[in-house]
Amino acid sequence: MPRQEATKDRLYAIALELFGRKGFGAVSIREICAAAGIRESSLYNHYPSKQALLDRAIEEMGAYMHSPELFERKKAAWGALGLRDLLKGGVARSLEAWNNEHLRQLWMVLSHEQYQSEPVASLLNREQENRIAYTTDMFSHLMAAGRMRQSDARLLATTYVHAMSSLKLEYVLRLHHGMDPESHARLIHQLAETFSAQWQC
């Protein structure tokens, strides 16, 4: 990797760590540069502003969240698996993603900034709506195939996704602060298991 690109990526990594720990508004260009061991003027060779660092995080998380390949790969399993196995697989993928330090750091920065930044709030709202829409489609497919009890698929999807999001918040916060997340991992598995036991045919 060229030296300039390496410096750009290092500045981004340092900024993410500081934003995640202190919040975007509480971190200065001076602080980022001091942590990187460069002059303040050097940062502007790579980023026009501190906001550009946050914009990169928004773009990166958006690309991950809305990858068409990710959703299509998941949809391929709908024809072969029941509700229990689909939810179990979803939990496994989620825990794997949340244990990825870089993804977790992005999520911490953006979840904190959603109250300050309209683009961040919009991204996270779209992500939640996409999850609900995807889960609604999955439940509708299973109901039509006779593999899930009939009900309002969107209402069930909204309930399930919001419950998972709440547990995700606790799980990620525990990881972020170096606390044991295993009790919340068990709760996440239990939620999926209880839901599938109630609704799978």
Instruction: Look at 71-75, 151-155, 195-199 and tell me which has the smallest mean pLDDT.
Output: 71-75
Model pLDDT for residues 80-111, shown as the tens digit of each residue: 889 999 999 999 988 988 888 888 889 889 98
Q: Where in the chain is the domain with CATH 1.10.10.60?
A: 3-48
- Can you give the three-state secondary structure of the chain, one letter per residue? CCHHHHHHHHHHHHHHHHHHHHCHHHCCHHHHHHHHCCCHHHHCCCCCCHHHHHHHHHHHHHHHHCCHHHHHHHHCCCCCCCHHHHHHHHHHHHHHHHCCHHHHHHHHHHHHHCCCCHHHHHHHHHHHHHHHHHHHHHHHHHHHCCCECCCCHHHHHHHHHHHHHHHHHHHHHHHHCCCCCHHHHHHHHHHHHHHHHHHEC
Residue 74 has pLDDT above 80, yes or no: no
23 Ramachandran zone, left/alpha/beta (phi>0; psi -120 to 50): left
Q: Which two tokens stand for residue 8?
A: 């750009």
For the chain, how far is it from start to end, CA to CA, in angstroms? 53
Say how many C-beta atoms besides its own lie within 10 A of residue 185's C-beta. Answer: 17
The hierarchical CATH code for the domain 3-48 is 1.10.10.60
Q: Against a cut of 0.95, is the pTM above it?
A: no
For 15-69, the pLDDT digits (tens) are: 999 998 898 999 999 999 999 999 988 899 999 999 999 999 999 998 888 776 6
Q: Which of 148, 185, 183 is nearest to 164 (CA)?
A: 185
Distance CA 176, CA 17 (A): 11
- Give CATH 1.10.357.10 domain extents, the chain: 56-199
pLDDT per residue as tens digits for the range 155-181? 999 999 999 999 988 898 888 788 999
Which of residues 199 and 184 earns the better pLDDT score? 199
C-alpha to C-alpha distance for 115 and 113, rounded to whole angstroms: 5
Does the structural domain 56-199 have CATH classification 1.10.357.10? yes
Query: CA triplet 110, 114, 117: central angle to 5 degrees?
Result: 105
Could you tell me the maximum CA-CA distance found in the chain, to the nearest angstrom? 64
72: confidence class by pLDDT, cuts 50, 70, 90 = low
DSSP 3-state of 180? coil
